Amino acid sequence: MKSQAYSLICLITLVYSCHHETNNSTRKYRDTLVVEKSLLLRLDSTQGLFSNNLNQFEYKGKTFFTFFNQLTGNLHYYDADSGKSFKVVSFQSEGPDGIGNRKDLIAHLPIGMDSVFIYNGWELRAFLFNGRGEKLRTYDFGESDLFRSNGPFNIAITNDNRLYRHGKKIYINAQGLPDTNFGNKPVLLELNLATENLTGLIFPPQSYATHCWGINYSTNTFSCYAEKRKEFIISYGIEPHIYTYSQDGQLNKKLTLGSEYFSNIKPYSSNLSDYMDMSTYEERSNISQMNPKYYKVLYFPNAKEEYFIRETFLPRSKEEIQSGASHLRKTFIIADRHLQKIGEYKVPKQYTTSVFFTSKEGIYIADFEHYMENEGVIKFDLLIPQRVSEAKQQ
């Protein structure tokens, strides 16, 4: 019988940490990810790989994931064990239960089987619905004291920057739009569902407030809540460090969890006002797109030993950027429960890492090439680490 994927991670990465040669010129091994098993998910005619906002939840010990179709406004529920759809909720665009006519900036968060939280980035409003698509409550972010005093914010509607929940509070990754007050705008927002109070919980490191990094895409913020540690873990795009914060937003620790494949990222300039100079936008955009960066951070509490994955985007050329997101070079840094690095593994190029879900076995990633050949079917592969021997470099 095969052991769980994480048991393999523990075994393989333990060997990695003991024997890995840090000098790339003498390395004898290539660290990569291989397929342990796959799950096929069938889409209906209205769905596509990139027109869905994804999320997941646990219910009675089982994992379920949800696709919100940004073209139709339908929310599809799937059983993560079988990959079968078992429920579709259709949301209205207008009227008392409407979510808005423009849906391409909508993110969602399922709250069990009976309710779902939806945020519309065009309207700066959020809604709580029951399982029949009936609106229970509206939260007007744009009229909140936080947006009036600290805004504007860019709330990323991406599958990497998902909404998540702890208790009766929902957490939203955000960015203050670049200006001379950039470093004083929160990067993690907290919405109390009961009181409707929206607050800025965590603020960026000093480096955000003192340098221009190109465009604000460089400074993307990704976070998760580590239940067993009772801490928020934040990965900043420009930082080789991981930051841990208490539940009330106080900084606990700054830990190194960087990539072995690129050096520390250099800022565009030390003048924060350069963000506002539109004459340099193209140059700054190129730098932001081509520079490496740190991306999402994921927490796996239900494995035998809890662990974390931090994603990176490796340095890239203009040709790689033009070839599409599925061909960008990425790695997964794996860290133990203390956020100490165990290993770093290159992700095969055919995987679209923003289309994923997690389980106690590990991370399932969508195979882009399979989708292009089999439209209407997404193949999710459970990827596990493996060391491949290669010839010694001279």
* 132, burial (CB in 10 Å: exposed 0-12, middle 13-18, buried 19+): exposed
**Secondary structure of residue 118 in the 3-state scheme:** strand
Are 109 and 66 in contact, with CB atoms under 8 Å apart? no
pLDDT digits (tens, 9 = 90+) for 40-58: 999 988 888 888 999 999 9
* 20, burial (CB in 10 Å: exposed 0-12, middle 13-18, buried 19+): middle
Structure tokens at 147: 């947006």
Residue with the two structure tokens 């997941």: 56
Confidence of residue 18 (pLDDT cuts 50, 70, 90): very low
User: pLDDT value at position 320?
Assistant: 77
Structure tokens at 51: 């027109």
User: pLDDT value at position 27?
Assistant: 53
Structure tokens at 272: 């924060």
Contacts 24+ apart (CB under 8 A), 186-189: 186/146, 186/150, 187/221, 187/223, 187/234, 187/236, 188/221, 188/223, 188/232, 188/234, 188/249, 189/146, 189/153, 189/155
Higher pLDDT, 320 or 112: 112
User: pLDDT value at position 313?
Assistant: 93
Phi, psi of 138, rounded to the nearest 5 degrees: -120, 135
* Mean pLDDT of the region 86-101: 95
> CA-CA distance, 52 to 350, in Å (whole number)?
19
Confidence of residue 304 (pLDDT cuts 50, 70, 90): confident
* Mean pLDDT of the region 266-273: 90
Q: pLDDT over 70 for what percent of the chain? A: 89
Confidence of residue 327 (pLDDT cuts 50, 70, 90): low
Query: Taking phi first (over 0 means left), then psi (-120 to 50 degrees means alpha), and beta for anything else, what does residue 124 get?
Result: left
In 8-91, DSSP assigns E strands to: 29-42, 52-59, 62-69, 74-79, 85-90
- pLDDT for 336 beyond 80: yes
* Mean pLDDT of the region 111-115: 93
> CA-CA distance, 394 to 24, in Å (whole number)?
10
Q: For 352-378, give one letter per residue: b (16+ CB within 10 A) or e.
A: bbbbbbbbebbbbbbbbebbeeeeeeb
> CA-CA distance, 145 to 168, in Å (whole number)?
20
**Secondary structure of residue 326 in the 3-state scheme:** helix
What residues contact residue 374 under an 8 Å CB cut-off, 6+ apart?
A: none
**Closest to 358 in 3D by CA, of 308, 304, 314:** 308
- pLDDT for 23 beyond 50: no
Higher pLDDT, 199 or 25: 199
- pLDDT for 269 beyond 50: yes
Higher pLDDT, 388 or 186: 186
**Closest to 333 in 3D by CA, of 256, 281, 394:** 256
Are 124 and 146 in contact, with CB atoms under 8 Å apart? no
* Mean pLDDT of the region 311-317: 92
CA 375 to mean position of chain CA atoms: 25
pLDDT digits (tens, 9 = 90+) for 196-237: 999 999 998 888 878 899 988 888 899 999 999 999 999 999
- pLDDT for 340 beyond 90: yes
